[in-house]
Every structure is written in structure tokens, then in C-alpha cells.
A = this chain, B = another copy of it.
């Protein structure tokens, strides 16, 4: 199996609410194929999908849990100032600030917000990682 993730799907409790957060709040444009049943965003070479939580659980044949599910999404940016700006934008969009931006132990600067379902997003500047022109991160 190749080392590749192509889609991250968030199981959401209210598809319209979540779509509005990402589309109206953050300004992300839904991709072709988005509908009242599922929403896709092109997210830097991979796809972020929003899908009703119960449907996703059924699709994967797993039980719905509660609380933090153990997965965090992240967006790496090019400077601490970009971290601050992204967190301000996310909170303005209705996101909840989980952790204010701060210097962190691994040498970077980062903070977290939660989307409408509580999914944690980190916004980080990592001085050891190169962010390419297209926004992707290069690892060796």
C-alpha cells in the first residue's frame, strides 16, 4: 500500500452548519460534486470531505464514540504572523479557540481551534519544515 492520504473525512453533526463554517466562515469553495449530502473541498492536494457523522460511521462500519477522537488536522504556514492571522480568521468564522498561539516545545509557534464539531485544527509555523510555493510541506 502506497504512503498516501487522499481524503480526510470529517463526520459532522449538522452538514449545513459545518459547510457554512468552512465555506462562509473560512471562505473555502466547495468543489464539484458537493451536494446536500456531502461536501468536498480541495485542501492543498488532498480532499477534505464533510459527511454526516452517522453516515460515515455506517460507511466505515464503526461505532460513534464521543469526545476527542484522537485525530488532529494541521495547517502549516510560513510565519508566526500567519499563525496569528489564521487563528483570528477561524475564530471570526465561529471556530472555538482551544489553545492560543504560543511558542511550543519543538521550536515552533502554534495554536489550535475547534471547528463546529470540535475537530481540532492546529495552525503552526515550524521553522524546520519548508512550506512549498503550493502550500504543501516538504519532508525528506
Interface residues of A (CB under 8 A from B): 1-12, 22, 26-29, 31-33, 40-48, 53, 56-57, 59-76, 86, 89-90, 93, 98-99, 104, 112, 114, 117-120, 122-123, 128, 131, 135-137, 139-140
Minimum distance in angstroms from A64 CB to a CB of chain B: 5
Whether the pair B9, A44 counts as a contact (CB closer than 8 A) is no
Minimum distance in angstroms from A45 CB to a CB of chain B: 4
Whether the pair B72, A69 counts as a contact (CB closer than 8 A) is no
Whether the pair A139, B60 counts as a contact (CB closer than 8 A) is no
Whether the pair A140, B32 counts as a contact (CB closer than 8 A) is yes
Whether the pair A64, B67 counts as a contact (CB closer than 8 A) is yes
What's the Cα separation between A63 and B123 when bound, in Å?
19
Whether the pair A75, B2 counts as a contact (CB closer than 8 A) is yes
What's the Cα separation between A124 and B53 when bound, in Å?
19
Partner of A5, one of B44, B57, B98, B118: B44
A8-B5, A139-B31 as given contacts; A68 in contact with B63, CB under 8 Å: yes
Closest to A140 in B: B32
